Amino acid sequence: PKEIFLKDYKLPDYYFDTVDLKFSLGEEKTIVSSKITVFPRVEGSSPPLVLDGHDLKLISVKVNSEELKDKDFHVDSRHLTISSPPTGTFSLEIVTEIYPQKNTSLEGLYKSSGNFCTQCEAEGFRKITFYQDRPDIMAKYSCWVEGDKSLYPVLLSNGNLIEQGDLEGGKHFALWEDPFKKPCYLFALVAGQLESRDDIFVTRSGRKVSLRIWTPAQDLPKTAHAMFALKAAMKWDEDVFGLEYDLDLFNIVAVPDFDMGAMENKSLNIFNSKLVLASPETASDADYAAILGVIGHEYFHNWTGNRVTCRDWFQLSLKEGLTVFRDQEFSSDMGSRTVKRIADVSRLRNYQFPQDAGPMAHPVRPHSYIKMDNFYTVTVYEKGAEVVRMYKTLMGSQGFRKGMNLYFKRHDGQAVTCEDFFAAMRDANDADFANFLQWYSQAGTPLVKVTSSYNAEARTFSLKFSQEVPPTPGQPVKEPMFIPVALGLLDSAGKDMPLFSVYHDGILKSITSNNQPVYSTVLRVTKKEEEFVFPNIIEQPVPSILRGYSAPIRFESDLSESDLFFLLAHDSDEFNRWEAGQILARKLMLSLVADFQQKKPLALNPKFVHGLRSILCDSSLDKEFIAKAITLPGEGEIMDMMEVADPDAVHAVRSFMRKQIAAELKAEFLTTVENNRSSEEYVFNHPNMARRALKNVALAYLASLEDEEITKLELHEYRTATNMTEQFAALAAIAHNPGKMRDEVLADFYNKWQHDFLVVNKWFALQAMSDIPGNVENVRNLFNHPAFDLRNPNNVYSLIGGFCGSPVNFHAKDGSGYQFLGEMVVQLDKINPRVASRRVSAFSRWRRYDETRQTLAKAQLEMIMSTNGLSENVFEIASKSLA
């Protein structure tokens, strides 16, 4: 397989102006005709024109209406090359034949539940027709779609519907035209039996936009929340960024077979059904929140991705990091900012940090790839969003908005780079961002350490920072990064002290705002070692550092246990209150893991339980915040902090702690469940979700007690629940303990919901993630369940992804978990290489475990590598994991 490098980027030899497509959809084959206006980048030049194609059957190729002779072009399984095109602008007509019915890769044109749909990002358009399949080729498209009217009554593509009508032989057609230039990865087509929920959004300039959400008829009632989310997103983008939708129609289609969450095709977003369909009975609060976020995300791409797109795929974070940041902000504004931040930081720590510390570590802007599909990663998306967030932290909301305005002013209609975004932010604010660009090119999570000291005589408080960026594959030596550190200093009453100035490099710098003191400031840490000294600090403060998690780093401080308890109780920055609790919990868990490994008896620090009790019983706190604050760090997070990851010890310790906490706070948890039952209809709003979240965390703690009274309570909750959030939490609590009750209730749940594939996926995931010993056998049985289909990515994600998410079973010492995954990857790769390669990542960090596990995991990776016909996708992840 060929590796592609960022440094080799070259401008294209040819550009395309207009692209007229015609699809003749058939039951066995589809004929695709394209007519492209081509012009050379350099006037007068006519180098060979090389088009990408993937296993296409070429029917004909014409230049300026003349069919080309065999000697004038060359075609193979990956390219069509026109050897000597005419000079100047010319027209190119290509006809290909494709077989969507046989396409299980879910890339290009394929069928999902009988309907045609497309997925072209990153390089799927080449599976439809020969084209320069790269994002810097932006053209205006029209699309004629024709097919059997009874089989495919709905025919959709990008842009405006220009004409539609009947054709002979029971066929009909629709002609679509997109007035905006776009790269081919944003092309979309959908055809099938769908109905729409219709609504209207009036833009702030008074234009009426028709909104349509398309699903099979029976699912339409479940699209109300998605429509709400779409309208809220449209309004938010106008309010916060002044960005208005630019066409008169916006379509969303939900399909059951989709590789990822959704796709932002211009005016025709295609979604995985699970991110559109919701009803209180079938979808949980988490589903509702995910729908809000992803509908927002895809809609926001209309400006950050579509109007301004990427020059090449290395720049993916330009659109994805920025759009994730925008969707995070949108969700924060629609709910609780602190809780959203906690959820986003947890995701970063649990998924991105491990990637950044493993063989697949890559910068936010990767330097090379074999298959671009493998770089739709938590680093590009989530760490990329953190990079965007740092601009905002440094310049404030207004400065950030100025930067965004300049970005659109400069680059609307262009395909650009991460430097262009950086330059817009810098120039709009006349800012000095020092070595900030390193965030795009250096992989690895910086480790920042800070030590503090108070000089009572001089009344100064000093913070000494040091930073280290760990080596990553291909980057053994790192430069220091530019790290914005937001902080405040708490006095002995727990109040933020006023801050006026700070010494840095021996120079006193004012940090007031409008001549007034500030209570929180942002330090710019840019060197390997650096000191900041605050003068006029009248008493020893407790510093609250990295407020709001102002940079994506690992952070270690010399704060004592009592400082952390103090911050947990008083910090005005709610994120750091939560963080203080997590640091305490992590320290405690690590020391218990050491005890466990040395076969010492385990005992829980009573101060920790007391801290949890105070949070749980503090009625002034937001309930969802409480739910987050009393949740222990995940097993992965703790293993990540160990020299040699020990899944059994970490699992034993976390289970011990949960049980112990449940026993000591049993009365409080019971009251919490009692006081937070639903009294009204399901409403998707913060107070209601917060109440349910808290109740469910309490129930989950209680489940660890294996107590008859609690089982009765769980059953009661299960039977009386009126929404999926509470019913599923009760089911999970019951399923926590093996036995007859578990089996019966799981069977009951399946019987009740077997007609709803999205709920069945939850049922698969719950069982797959279980930490019941030897669960791999149960998962193998579920693999053969009639509702499981390896061709459906949601099924794979629930069952196989769910299983790998349970460290204790996936890393079972007998290798049974590894063997199961190895077999699955080989089978999946033949169906859908992108889905398969994402699963291989579970093996990537095999070197983190003990020798026995290393040998077993390595053997599976080698088995995968030796498989005949392995895809490039899987090859890339497996070979990098072994390197």
Taking CB under 6 A as the rule, does residue 723 contact ligand HT7? no
Q: Dig out the tokens for 564 from the structure.
A: 């952390």
Cβ nearer to ligand HT7, comparing 834 with 848: 834
Residue nearest to ligand HT7 (CB): 260
Beta strand 483-490 pairing with 542-545: antiparallel
The least CB distance from residue 133 to ligand HT7, in Å, is: 13
| Choices 293-301, 537-545, 620-628, 847-855; region in contact with ligand HT7 by CB under 6 A | 293-301
Q: Which does 373 bind (CB under 5 to 8 A by kind): Zn ion, ligand HT7, none?
A: ligand HT7
Q: In what order do the strands lie in the sheet with 249-255?
A: 195-202, 208-215, 249-255, 268-272, 262-263
| Choices 12-20, 115-123, 702-710, 761-769; region in contact with ligand HT7 by CB under 6 A | 115-123
Residue type, 635: E
| Choices 116-124, 503-511, 586-594, 709-717; region in contact with ligand HT7 by CB under 6 A | 116-124
Beta strand 139-148 pairing with 171-182: antiparallel
Cβ nearer to ligand HT7, comparing 135 with 541: 135
The length of the chain in residues reads: 883
Q: Which does 269 bind (CB under 5 to 8 A by kind): ligand HT7, Zn ion, none?
A: none
**Three-state DSSP string of 645-713:** CCHHHHHHHHHHHHHHHHHHCHHHHHHHHHHCCCCCCCCCCHHHHHHHHHHHHHHHHHHCCCCHHHHHH
Neighbours of 423 (CB within 10 A): 18
C-beta separation of 83 from 73 below 8 A: yes
Q: Dig out the tokens for 494 from the structure.
A: 């727990």
Neighbours of 168 (CB within 10 A): 5
Q: Dig out the tokens for 97 from the structure.
A: 């034949």
Taking CB under 6 A as the rule, does residue 310 contact ligand HT7? no
Cβ nearer to ligand HT7, comparing 268 with 808: 268
Looking at residue 379, the DSSP 8-state letter turns out to be I
How many whole angstroms separate alpha carbon 400 and alpha carbon 424? 10
Phi-psi region of 789 (alpha: psi -120 to 50; beta: other; left: phi over 0): beta
The least CB distance from residue 472 to ligand HT7, in Å, is: 23
Taking CB under 6 A as the rule, does residue 327 contact ligand HT7? no
| Choices 134-142, 230-238, 321-329, 443-451; region in contact with Zn ion by CB under 5 A | 321-329
For 12-41, b/e burial (b = at least 16 CB within 10 A) is: ebbbbeebbbbbbbbeeebbbbbbbbbebe
Q: What is the CA radius of gyration of the chain?
A: 28
Beta strand 268-272 pairing with 249-255: parallel
Applying CB under 6 A, among 178, 373, 420, 640 the residue interacting with ligand HT7 is 373
The least CB distance from residue 297 to ligand HT7, in Å, is: 6
| Choices 195-203, 322-330, 621-629, 632-640; region in contact with Zn ion by CB under 5 A | 322-330
Taking CB under 6 A as the rule, does residue 876 contact ligand HT7? no
Cβ nearer to ligand HT7, comparing 1 with 494: 1
| Choices 117-125, 142-150, 399-407, 708-716; region in contact with ligand HT7 by CB under 6 A | 117-125
Residues 258 to 287 in contact with ligand HT7, rule: CB under 6 A: 259-260, 262-264
Cβ nearer to Zn ion, comparing 534 with 797: 797
Residues 233 to 262 in contact with ligand HT7, rule: CB under 6 A: 259-260, 262
Taking CB under 6 A as the rule, does residue 126 contact ligand HT7? no
How many whole angstroms separate alpha carbon 673 and alpha carbon 664? 16
Cβ nearer to Zn ion, comparing 321 with 611: 321
The least CB distance from residue 302 to ligand HT7, in Å, is: 11
Taking CB under 6 A as the rule, does residue 121 contact ligand HT7? yes
C-beta separation of 376 from 835 below 8 A: no
Cβ nearer to ligand HT7, comparing 402 with 834: 834
The least CB distance from residue 763 to Zn ion, in Å, is: 29
Distances (CA, A) of 583 to 481, 541, 594, 653, 807: 24, 19, 17, 16, 22
C-beta separation of 260 from 376 below 8 A: yes
Residue in 870, 834, 837, 853 with CA at minimum distance from that of residue 121: 834
Taking CB under 6 A as the rule, does residue 298 contact ligand HT7? yes
Taking CB under 6 A as the rule, does residue 312 contact ligand HT7? no
The least CB distance from residue 866 to ligand HT7, in Å, is: 26
Residue in 781, 803, 860 with CA at minimum distance from that of residue 826: 860
Cβ nearer to Zn ion, comparing 107 with 573: 107
Cβ nearer to ligand HT7, comparing 119 with 284: 119
How many whole angstroms separate alpha carbon 267 and alpha carbon 264? 8
Distances (CA, A) of 456 to 308, 453, 459: 54, 10, 5
Query: Catalytic one among 146, 298, 635, 876?
Result: 298
Looking at residue 153, the DSSP 8-state letter turns out to be -
Residue span 803-842 as binding mask against ligand HT7, x where in contact by CB under 6 A, dash where not: -------------------------------x--------
Q: Dig out the tokens for 348 from the structure.
A: 């970063």
The least CB distance from residue 877 to ligand HT7, in Å, is: 14
Residue span 31-70 as binding mask against ligand HT7, x where in contact by CB under 6 A, dash where not: ----------------------------------------
Distances (CA, A) of 295 to 95, 252, 406: 35, 9, 26
Applying CB under 6 A, among 146, 219, 320, 622 the residue interacting with ligand HT7 is 320
Q: Which does 259 bind (CB under 5 to 8 A by kind): ligand HT7, Zn ion, none?
A: ligand HT7
Q: Three-state DSSP class for 369?
A: strand
Cβ nearer to ligand HT7, comparing 255 with 564: 255
Which residues have C-beta within 8 Å of that of residue 777, sequence separation ≥ 6? none
Taking CB under 6 A as the rule, does residue 576 contact ligand HT7? no
Cβ nearer to ligand HT7, comparing 330 with 482: 330
| Choices 75-83, 106-114, 275-283, 323-331; region in contact with Zn ion by CB under 5 A | 323-331
Decide if 419 is catalytic. Answer: no
Q: Which does 503 bind (CB under 5 to 8 A by kind): Zn ion, ligand HT7, none?
A: none
Applying CB under 6 A, among 15, 99, 376, 500 the residue interacting with ligand HT7 is 376
Residue with tokens 């003990």: 850
Cβ nearer to Zn ion, comparing 344 with 640: 344
Residues 301 to 320 in contact with Zn ion, rule: CB under 5 A: 320
Sign of CA dihedral 559, 560, 563, 565: positive
Taking CB under 6 A as the rule, does residue 382 contact ligand HT7? no
What residues line the site for ligand HT7 (CB under 6 A)?
Answer: 119, 121-122, 259-260, 262-264, 297-298, 301, 320, 373, 376, 834
What residues line the site for Zn ion (CB under 5 A)?
Answer: 320, 323
User: What residues are annotated to the active site?
Assistant: 298
